């Protein structure tokens, strides 16, 4: 019998929240332009985190340097990643192809962790990362419509990948003692400020219908606060290369949730891909004897 200890609950909770975020983003983008949606989402998350930090008397940064480190990590992990994904979808790239590009994150982070953080990644971990990556390919490649792919969409997905990867490393190196709520408030505010210039380049559109309110509520609370809190806890407690490996399950999770909520087909390649991803995750996180 599998015991759901905190070490298992954290990644599974993160996968569920982050993966379902793709589904609720679909809802939101039908009623609002990408940057308007992001700006409202980030600002709401900022206000909620400020209230939580105030009531629990959370520790705020003690100096300007600590404040800047937290802000930069947030701009990368939260702001740059979200802007890249939302704009890639707005430029016509399919969600499947965007997820595939983001799925390169574990391999990129493992390479960067060796170079910048001095982490050791043995051949078993590399094998697990590669198996997980090819598992993601199985999940999404059948849904890629290359005829509709836009070059700007690919570029913005790569920017999202780089922001998330460097942000995770920066968070691990410089923000290890960050309070989750005070630090989260700073990071969502810095991400809001990062989004604002992009509003100038889009035709701002927000329709406050039930779909948008549901999507906004879920993305502000479940994703901006819930999933990122879980991610930062995992980064703080584990090696970045191992933590990043669970990102392979995020697009898989999105496909499964879409199957139940949006009636998307669950093809044979999804079953094979999920099996490969799970096997890869087991290899990466298996403890040495």
Work out the percent of the chain whose per-residue pLDDT is above 70. Answer: 68
Confidence band of 3 (pLDDT split at 50, 70, 90):
very low
- Structure tokens given for 224: 């901006």
* Dist. CA 138–CA 244, nearest whole Å: 19
- pLDDT confidence tier of residue 83, bands split at 50, 70 and 90: very high
Angle (CA) 151 156 162, round 5°: 130
pLDDT reading at 269 higher than 80: no
Q: What is the pTM of this model?
A: 0.77
More confident residue, 235 or 161: 161
- Are 132 and 276 within 8 A, CB to CB? yes
Q: Which residues does 161 contact at the CB level (< 8 Å), separation at least 6?
A: 84, 101, 102, 104, 105, 108
The residues spanned by each domain of the chain are: 6-285
Closest CA to 40 of 204, 167, 179, 232: 204
Least confident of 66-70, 109-113, 264-268: 264-268
Which residues face 206 on adjacent strands? 32
Segment 8-36 mean pLDDT: 80
Helix axes 6-29 and 249-261, enclosed angle (nearest 10): 60
Q: What is the pLDDT of residue 19?
A: 75
Q: Calculate mean pLDDT across residues 21-39.
A: 86
Sign of CA dihedral 150, 151, 156, 159: positive
Instruction: Choose the weakest-confidence range: 72-76, 92-96, 189-193.
Output: 92-96
Residue 1 — very low, low, confident or very high, per pLDDT cuts 50/70/90? very low
User: Quick one: average pLDDT of 82-97?
Assistant: 78
How many residues belong to the chain? 289
Q: What are the phi and psi torsion angles at 122 (to 5°)? A: -80, 170
């Amino acid at each position: 019998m599998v015991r759901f200890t905190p070490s298992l609950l954290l990644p599974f909770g993160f996968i569920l929240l982050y993966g379902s975020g793709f589904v609720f983003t679909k809802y939101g983008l039908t009623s609002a332009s990408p940057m308007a949606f992001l700006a409202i989402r980030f600002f709401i998350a900022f206000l909620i985190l400020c209230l939580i930090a105030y009531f629990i008397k959370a520790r705020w940064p003690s100096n300007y340097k600590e404040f800047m480190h937290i802000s930069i990590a947030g701009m990368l992990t939260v702001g740059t990643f979200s802007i890249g994904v939302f704009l890639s979808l707005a430029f016509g790239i399919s969600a499947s192809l965007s997820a595939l590009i983001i799925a390169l994150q574990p391999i990129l982070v493992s390479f960067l962790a060796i170079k910048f953080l001095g982490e050791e990644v043995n051949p078993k971990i590399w094998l697990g990362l590669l198996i997980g990556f090819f598992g993601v390919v199985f999940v999404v490649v059948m849904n890629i419509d290359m005829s509709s792919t836009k070059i700007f969409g690919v570029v913005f997905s790569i920017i999202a990948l780089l922001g998330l990867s460097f942000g995770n490393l920066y968070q691990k190196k410089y923000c290890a003692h960050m309070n989750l709520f005070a630090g989260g408030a700073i990071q969502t505010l810095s991400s809001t400020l990062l989004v604002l210039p992009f509003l100038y380049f889009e035709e701002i559109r927000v329709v406050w219908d039930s779909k948008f309110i549901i999507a906004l509520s879920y993305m502000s609370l479940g994703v901006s606060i819930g999933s990122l809190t879980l991610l930062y806890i995992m980064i703080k407690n584990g090696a970045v290369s191992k933590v990043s490996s669970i990102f392979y399950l995020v697009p898989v999770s999105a496909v499964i949730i879409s199957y139940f909520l949006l009636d998307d087909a669950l093809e044979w390649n999804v079953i094979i891909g999920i099996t490969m991803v799970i096997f890869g995750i087991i290899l990466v996180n298996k403890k040495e004897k």
